Amino acid sequence: MRTTTAGRILAAGLAAVLLIAGCSDESGANAGGPTFDLTQLDPGNYSTTPRDQEQARTEHTGAMLEAARLGTALPAAVDIDARLVHRSSIYVDRRITPILLPSDIALIERAEFAQLTPGLVAGWQSRGQRRQGIGLGTALEMVTLRFDSAAAAANAAGLMSARAQQKWPDDTPVTVPDFGEAQARWSTQHRRVDAQLVRDDMVLLVRAEDPVSEPSEPTASTTLVQRALRAILDGLSDYTPTPADQLDSLPIDTDSMLARTLPLENTAQFTGDTDPSMVLPRQAWLHSALRADLAKTAYADTGVDLVAISGAVLYRAADAPAAARLLAALADAESARYAPIDSPPNMAGVGCYDRKDPKSSADRYPPTCFLHVGRYVAVVEGANTQQVHQRTAAQYGLLAEA
């Protein structure tokens, strides 16, 4: 899923939580956020009726839900190396399934992914890097793939290994400490170590890049791969695979989070096969943060446990005061690029913003509103002021009626 502007602001906004965590300590009557008369709001044609997300279930939904379960168990790059805090990709969806293909990942190009992974059930992709720009510092990419059998995993690993040897014949074999069974190669040209490890029905792919250090040699990258493999396996120890014949029983909408979230207007913009809306525990969403270090601490500070991503992005914090702190941080984070605009009609106090510089990208910085209702914080965007106002009114209706 390509990130929406709301998703970018939301991830980036967490960077400010630590700086202003105490600036909005609401503990009185307004701790749950402002309340409004629903009859006086204008949601336009947007629905204010919670939807039954089960109606969006398809034959592919179970695999997507299982992919999210994997992401909940797996470490982000920042969990392995505190310096790897930046996200480079514009995509926030880390799930992998036979129809939800990843961007190009370590060892596999998107175009050949299906050919190299027969028997895939679900997977998860994650990346973190030391600098914001590509190729400016150490980077770590991790892909965890679950197959329908150990034999299928071994077969896919063999196919991927053969393809890698064909594509990069000059790579030099290296040994990963503690993981002698892993197939690993050092590329002098690309300054990276690629490793592949098979464990039962899982294939782990790890790539560590170090494009700037001199002299160029594999020791540091090999050590990073070692740490990543150990952390992934530790995380998988807390993952209980859902049997393949029970994937369709996995719930789509944890605690009715999606029912409380504005729906996508056009699901076909992401995939024609299923609604990509999802509910993620905070560890899974951490993989999509623009600044994972600050996001990780912010989630803990405000007690965020679930995030729903659909037509808006909805956070659930520990309680209403924590949600107020989170909202203040999100609204403050883009202050250098955003300027306040009017609140939606009859919704005084709701913070809405538009880009300060008219020459800035309207796609990256569209009108955006931040809404706080109880323990929930929503980030809503629109193509213009009227649309974002109507969508915010509809999102309030969904939260107020829940």
Same-domain pairing of 69 and 171: yes
Instruction: Provide the 10 A C-beta neighbour count for residue 92.
Output: 23
Q: Is residue 246 in a domain?
A: no
Same-domain pairing of 41 and 125: no
> How do the residues of the chain divide into helix, strand and coil, expressed in percent and rounded to 5?
35, 20, 40
Residue appearing with tokens 């999802």: 278
Q: Is residue 285 in a domain?
A: yes
Q: Is 356 helix (H, G, I), strand (E, B) or coil?
A: coil
Strands 278-281 and 368-373: unpaired
Q: What is the pTM for the complete model shown? A: 0.86
For 69-101, how does the pLDDT look when each residue is reduced to its tens digit (9 = 90+)? Answer: 999 999 999 999 999 888 876 667 889 998 877
Q: For residues 154 and 83, what is the distance between their CA atoms, to the nearest angstrom?
A: 33
Same-domain pairing of 227 and 88: yes
Q: For residues 148 and 118, what is the distance between their CA atoms, to the nearest angstrom?
A: 9
Structural domain including 313 reads 5-57+252-401
Q: What is the DSSP string of 279-305?
A: EEEHHHHHTT-SBHHHHHHHHHHHT--
pLDDT greater than 90 at residue 150: yes
Q: Is residue 158 in a domain?
A: yes
Q: Please provide the distance, in angstroms rounded to a whole number, between the alpha carbons at the two ends of the chain.
A: 27
Same-domain pairing of 177 and 314: no
Confidence at residue 318, expressed as pLDDT on a 0 to 100 scale:
96
User: Quick one: which of 196, 208, 120, 186 has its CA closest to 162?
Assistant: 196
Q: Is residue 247 in a domain?
A: no
Three-state helix/strand/coil letters over 2-43: ECCHHHHHHHHHHHHHHHHCCCCCCCCCCCCCCCCCHHHCCC
Same-domain pairing of 209 and 350: no
Residue pair 392/347 in contact (Cβ under 8 Å)? The answer is yes
Q: Is residue 241 in a domain?
A: no
Residue pair 127/151 in contact (Cβ under 8 Å)? The answer is no
Q: Is residue 242 in a domain?
A: no
Same-domain pairing of 380 and 291: yes
Give the count of domains, the chain: 2
Q: For residues 238 and 197, what is the distance between their CA atoms, to the nearest angstrom?
A: 18
Q: Is residue 101 in a domain?
A: yes
Same-domain pairing of 97 and 227: yes
Q: Is the dihedral of CA 102, 104, 109, 110 positive or negative?
A: positive
Same-domain pairing of 333 and 204: no
Same-domain pairing of 71 and 220: yes
Q: Is residue 244 in a domain?
A: no
Instruction: Give the residue from 206, 236, 266 where a domain finishes.
Output: 236
Instruction: Give the residue from 236, 261, 288 where a domain finishes.
Output: 236
Mean pLDDT across the chain: 85
Confidence at residue 17, expressed as pLDDT on a 0 to 100 scale:
38
- Beta-bridged to residue 125, according to DSSP, are 143
Instruction: Estimate to the nearest angstrom the gap between the alpha carbon of 356 and the chain centroid.
Output: 27
Confidence at residue 1, expressed as pLDDT on a 0 to 100 scale:
42
Same-domain pairing of 92 and 142: yes
For 272-314, how does the pLDDT look when each residue is reduced to its tens digit (9 = 90+)? Answer: 455 678 999 999 999 988 888 888 988 899 999 999 999 999 9
* 340 contact partners, CB below 8 Å, separation of at least 6: 351, 352, 353
Same-domain pairing of 390 and 277: yes
Instruction: Provide the 10 A C-beta neighbour count for residue 283.
Output: 18
Q: For residues 117 and 121, what is the distance between their CA atoms, to the nearest angstrom?
A: 9
Q: Residue 72 sits in a domain of what CATH number?
A: 3.40.1000
Average pLDDT over residues 195-200: 96
Same-domain pairing of 97 and 210: yes
Confidence at residue 182, expressed as pLDDT on a 0 to 100 scale:
94
